[in-house]
């Protein structure tokens, strides 16, 4: 009899496969899944001032991780970091034209991945799963 896997292991396995597959899809633009997620967040908030603290909160990341992601994205020419217009003690993250140029390609890759992930799952099951995962995230964030 096959032993049931712990939820943490299942989530980790799904995430590992998802990231590996997505990284392969976007390898030609020299980005990782985490970098694409961050760029997507910046696109969603275009026109608003976004600083590293906003990114830490949105993705539940520690400051050194965010600093590393931003540094690599800046080195690759996808973002630039400038002093905040509101408060010089903070930095704002600004998308470059290079990031704008790859936005549709990243979205297409993400849509393809989501379609694969939800294959054979009804819309009702998808919504239920999203609700459960959001509650689990909230439980772990307490």
Interval 52-66: pLDDT, tens: 999 999 999 999 999
pLDDT at position 123: 95
Q: Which domain holds residue 77?
A: 7-116
**Residue 125 domain flag:** no
**Residue 129 domain flag:** no
Mean pLDDT across the stretch 76-99? 92
CATH code for position 98: 1.10.10.10
Confidence of residue 1 (pLDDT cuts 50, 70, 90): very low
Tally of domains within the chain: 1
**Residue 136 domain flag:** no
Buried residues in 36-72 as b, exposed as e (16+ CB within 10 A): bbbbeebeeeeeebbbbebbeeeeebeeeebeebbeb
């Amino acid at each position: 009899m096959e032993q049931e896997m712990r939820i943490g292991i299942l989530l980790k396995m799904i995430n590992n496969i998802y990231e590996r597959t997505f990284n392969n899809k976007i390898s030609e633009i020299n980005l990782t899944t985490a970098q694409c997620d961050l760029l997507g967040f910046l696109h969603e908030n275009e026109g608003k001032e976004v600083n590293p603290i906003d990114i830490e909160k949105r993705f539940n990341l520690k400051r050194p991780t965010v600093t590393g992601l931003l540094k690599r994205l800046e080195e690759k020419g996808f973002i630039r970091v400038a002093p905040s217009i509101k408060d010089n003690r903070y930095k704002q993250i600004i998308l470059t034209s290079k990031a704008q140029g790859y936005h549709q390609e990243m979205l297409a890759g993400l849509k393809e991945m989501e379609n694969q992930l939800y294959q054979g799952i009804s819309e009702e099951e998808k919504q239920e799963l999203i609700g459960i995962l959001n509650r689990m995230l909230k439980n772990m964030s307490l």
